[in-house]
Structure 1
Amino acid sequence: MVKQYDVAVIGGGPAGTAMAYGLVAKGKAVVIIEADLWGGTCPNRGCDPKKILLSAVEAKQASAHLQGHGLTGVPTVDWPALMATKRGYTDGINDGTLHGLTGAGIDTLHGEAYFQADGQLTVDGEVVTATDYVIATGQRPAILPIKGHEYFQTSTDFLDLDTMPKRVTFVGGGYAGFELATIVRAAGAEVHLIHHNDRPLKAFDAKMVQALMANLTAQGVVFDLGVDLTAITKAADGLHLQAPDFDLTTDLVISAAGRLPNADHLGLENVGVTFNRHGVQVNGHLQTANPHIYAIGDVSDTPVPKLTPVAGYEARYLVDELTDSSAAISYPVVPTQVYAAPKLAQVGLSAELAAQQPDRYTINDLDMTAWFSYYRVQAPQALAKVMVEKATGLVVGASVLSDIADEMINYLTLLIQQKITLPALQKLVLAYPTPASDLQYLY
């Protein structure tokens, strides 16, 4: 007899597991299905292992900044030891996630989920029956479809490298390209980053991106802009990356040209669910064209960045939607950051849009390099753009470039989301001297 579930969740990553835990806490019968590693991309081969590798980079660069200012000698990155530390974390994710799910009373299935022509969901041929279905299958790295594309490796491969090659090239000027190039350069390899036009990280403030690139160039990262790669060939001296009037030889080439939704292998066309390169189409209730199928997290086509905390936010919303119907989802302001060196982060209204309405917004363009928070660690550069609404005095957007931009953007997110004015902020007593005590000078 086929077991009847209230909800079947397809995908055992941050979105799917948050969904399953939330539903079982409300008394629902839940099954969660995963085809690969339990825990998903973020803890296994994404944000978490990346940041473990970045920890060594941060320590090395912090030491480098203080040479001649109290420290002597810059440490080197021991890549095998660093990778062992990363694996000490990631090796336990799959089993730990699975144990947690089963311990909570959630049924689990490992295999490929597919909606058959008759609309039934099967997992490696086994029928799974539920009232509602939630697609939370995430994304995967995209591979550029050029001649020799089989020589590309991805961020997944990079995050499990046993040894660091002498020459590494990233193709694509997005988050992954910048972040992994930063790690590779700190580990001592020669690094090139190829981008097809002259505007990498196009979602971020252009001035801030230029400043970040200048910092990385000073560290030895080579940017090859306006290069539309056409082919990769293998020779005795390495991999040759080719474009008109361009030929670069490297030992490892990583496709960092964005990510694709894992929606093309589920048989969604059999159940009336549509998707494109941005993800599964959903309405304001995260519901697809099929009223009993929903999509959350990176696989869904929603107007917010594809981030782990956003996946959790959507999961919590949908738990409420499926157990006690609610209004359409309303997103808070969502900060995004590039973990390069220095870090680049932004939230809310951009300076570009604010500049189009000068009567409404003030743009505070700040060079904070000489401020105490950055002077004490001899940071080479710290910049901020803060957008303030004139009528209310509220911060409505910010872009930050510094070694602690990821920390500062969270403070700024709180100021925006909670609508904290400067007088209200100044009624608080914050620990000094800290980055938080600098906030009052950003308005």
Structure 2
Amino acid sequence: MVTEFDTIVIGAGPGGLAAAYALAQQQRVLVVENDLWGGTCPNRGCDPKKMLYSAVETRDQASHLQHDGLSGIPEINWPELMAFKNAYTNKVPAGTLAGLKAANITTVHGQPRFIGADQISVAATTYRAANFIIATGQTPVIPQIEGQQYLQTSTDFLALPKLPARIAFIGAGYVALELANIAASAGAEVHILQHNQRLLRDFPETDTRLLATALTAQGVTFHWDTELRAVTENATGYSLTTNTSLQLTVDAVFAASGRQAQLAGLNLAAAGVEATAKGVTVNDHLQTTNTRIYAVGDVVAKAQPKLTPVASLEGRYVAQVLLGKREALTYPLIPQVVYASPQIAQVGVKLVTAQQAPTQYEIREQDVTQWYTFNRIKEPTARVTTIFEQATHRLVGAIVYSSIAEEVINYLTILMTQHVTKAQLSQQITAYPTPASDLAYYL
């Protein structure tokens, strides 16, 4: 027996859920999930990470105000902080499932497998649909080395009941830096092994070097030009063998050198869906090589940042396509934030792009440490770089290095999206003195 639906969504993360809800009032929709309802972000990704980070940023603020009105830096209580995080994440799967049922969306838990161009099987049941949406996200990459069974991932870190005293992170991207920052702030001895001398390669090197210096001052040790070759368990922990003479024994090792599309078990070949090492191949309507099957979110091979809001945007877009929309997908400006101490954020035209086209772009780099806003919170170093289009004088790109970079970059993104000029901004009144009242100085 085959059960029929209009659309089957594979994956109940932000992208898949956005599509399912948008389709539910007009179609028969099935959502299949083989892990936690809600997906990576709210269960074991950006949301729980930010819950842990809340204690870090509060501790940072107290540290900056020592001898300026505060005495004593609070200590992070890891079990209490983890309980705080769990109070949020423990509710996500059941809440997600309840929401789907309330919207009359059929749900199935299990591993889906394509058995044809328009059919999947889950356990012993076959499901057929006119269209499919693949929204399975990504999974951490585990280096294929001796002792790889001892490597843990961000999922394990975000569920640690007790913080290990000595920790090593492999890689210096978003995940490694954000989790290393949390661990060091909570009192762990933290090491980062990076295969070259560059971190966050998508961000300007001037800012990333500042961040490396700041994290070093907070107790994070960077081992540059260092590649992990093997992990050995011993009586005192885990010994790391590298391509250098480094002698290092730690209590936990976390692989944080990248993520890959989560496609295992889907049997895409049976459905005629092509994928590469970077993810599922799609066109400008997010159709795969099987035009009845779409893909959204982090599982897609794309140039855009693989972020939760992007997945949700894509999910809503595909729903519109299935309901009759014909236009190709156009992405809005996508701000990116690294939640370290301090934060680095960027949006729009990249600095390296502007530097390579000096007749097209104007770059303004400002040290804003002594501006009122940043002086008030005793920011050790704050920088804002703005990029303008020469022909129109419009703001088209920005980079912010500060403990409040997430707030400032959102303001700048809005200004860029709405093409606000300095003259127009001068006619607006914002609460003063605040980061928003500084905006005119960036234009």
1:82-117 alpha-carbon deviations (Å, 9 max, x no partner) = 000111001110001000000110000000000126
- C-alpha separation between the residues in 2 aligned to 1:8 and 1:119? 10
1:103 aligns with 2:116: no
Contact 1:393 / 1:422 at 8 angstroms: preserved in 2? no
**1:358 to partner: Cα distance:** 1.5
Q: CA-to-partner distance for each residue in 1:254-313, whole Å, 9 max, x for gaps?
A: 000111101232000111111112110000000000011000011111220000000111
Residue number in structure 2 paired with 1:10: 10
> Is 2:388 aligned against 1:388?
yes
Question: Partner of 1:436: helix, strand, or coil?
Answer: helix
TM-score relative to the length of structure 1:
0.98
The residue identity in structure 2 corresponding to 1:413 is T
One-letter amino acid of the counterpart of residue 313, structure 2: Y
Distance in 1 (CA, whole Å) between partners of 2:351 and 2:377 is 28
Matched-pair contact (CA < 8 Å) for 1:279–1:300: yes
Q: Which residue in 1 is equivalent to 2:20?
A: 20
Q: RMSD across aligned C-alpha pairs, in angstroms?
A: 1.1
Match of 1:84 in 2: 83
Query: Structure 2: how far apart are the matches of 1:359 and 1:282?
Result: 35
The correspondence of residues 305-344 of structure 1 with structure 2, limited to 5 A, is 305-344=305-344
Shift in Å, 1:329:
0.5
Inter-partner Cα distance in structure 1 for 2:23 and 2:116: 28
Distance 1:242 1:415 in 2: 49
Number of the residue aligned with 2:172? 173
1:2 Cα deviation after fit: 3.1
> Which residue does 1:250 correspond to in 2?
250
Q: Spell out, residue by residue over 1:155-210, the C-alpha distance to the aligned partner (whole angstroms, 9 max, x if none).
A: 00000000011101100110000000000001001000111111111011110100
Secondary structure of 2:24's match? helix
Give distance in 2, aligned partners of 1:317 and 1:181.
Answer: 36
Quick one: distance in 2 between partners of 1:136 and 1:75?
A: 41
Q: Separation in 1 of the partners of 2:223 and 2:339? A: 20
- Counterpart CA distance in 1 for 2:61 and 2:226 is 33
1:189 matched residue in structure 2:
188
The correspondence of residues 198-213 of structure 1 with structure 2, limited to 5 A, is 198-213=197-212
Please tell me whether the aligned partners of residues 115 and 270 of structure 2 are also in contact (alpha carbons under 8 angstroms): yes
Distance 2:315 2:178 in 1: 27
Higher mean displacement: 427-436 or 63-72: 427-436
SS state of the match for residue 347, structure 2? strand
Contact 2:118 2:128 in 1 (8 A): no
Which range moves more in the overlay, 358-367 or 79-88?
358-367
Equivalent residue letter for 2:286: L
| More moved, 51-60 vs 409-418 | 409-418
SS at match of 2:2: coil
TM-score (norm 2): 0.98
**Offset of 1:3 from its aligned partner?**
3.0
Please tell me the residue identity of whatever aligns with 1:189: A
Q: Whole-Å Cα distance in 1 between the matches of residues 76 and 264 of structure 2?
A: 40
Deviation at 1:119, TM superposition (A): 5.7
Equivalences for residues 254-265 of structure 1 within 5 A: 254-265=254-265
Question: Is contact 1:15–1:311 with CA below 8 Å preserved after alignment?
Answer: yes
CA deviation profile, 1:303-338 (whole Å, cap 9, x unmatched): 200000001110111111000132110101111110
Aligned to 1:128: 127
- Counterpart residue type for residue 304 of structure 2: V
How far residue 339 of structure 1 moved from its aligned partner, in angstroms, is: 0.3
Counterpart amino acid of 1:127?
T
Q: Is the 1:386–1:395 contact (alpha carbons within 8 Å) kept by the matching residues of 2?
A: yes
SS of the residue 2:163 aligns to = coil
Q: Does the aligned pair in 2 maintain the 1:171–1:256 contact within 8 Å?
A: yes
2:48 paired residue number: 49
Paired residue for 1:278? 278
1:54-74: per-residue Cα shift (whole Å, max 9, x none)? 000011111011010001111
8 A Cα contact 1:138 1:298, kept in partner = yes
Q: Is the 8 A contact 2:171 2:195 kept in 1?
A: yes
Q: Using the TM superposition, give the Cα deviation of residue 129 of structure 1 relative to its aligned residue in structure 2, in angstroms.
A: 1.0
Question: 1:377 & 1:418 partners in 2: Cα distance?
Answer: 29
Which 5+ residue runs of structure 2 have no aligned equivalent? none
How many Å separate the matches in 2 of 1:305 and 1:84? 31
The within-5 A match list for 1:34-45 is: 34-45=33-44
Q: How far apart are the structure 2 equivalents of 1:159 and 1:54?
A: 11
Residue identity in the other structure for 2:415? L
Q: Secondary structure at the match of 2:8?
A: strand
- DSSP-derived class of the 2:379 partner: coil
- Secondary structure of the corresponding residue to residue 215 of structure 2: helix
CA distance in 2, matches of 1:143, 1:296: 24
Distance (whole Å) between structure 1 residues aligned to residue 255 and residue 174 of structure 2: 12
Match for residue 297 of structure 2?
297
SS in 2 for 1:428: coil
Name the CA shift for 1:331/1:352 in 2 (closer, same or farther; >3 Å): same
Q: What is the CA-CA distance between 1:118 and the residue it aligns to?
A: 7.4
What residue is the counterpart of 1:241 in the other structure?
Answer: 240
SS in 1 for 2:31: strand
Tell me whether 109-118 or 185-194 shows the greater mean CA deviation.
109-118
Greater than 3 Å deviation, 4+ residue runs = none
Percent identity of paired positions between Structure 1 and Structure 2: 47
What is the alpha-carbon distance in structure 1 between the residues aligned to residue 351 and residue 257 of structure 2?
26
- Between the aligned partners of 1:414 and 1:371, the Cα distance in structure 2 is 22
Mapped to 2, the partners of 1:119 and 1:422 lie a distance apart of 54
CA distance in 2, matches of 1:218, 1:130: 56
Residue by residue, what CA displacement relative to the aligned partner does 1:106-154 show, whole Å, maximum 9, x if unpaired? 0000000001267631112210111000000011111111111111000
| Contact 1:119 1:270 (C-alpha < 8 Å) held by counterparts | no
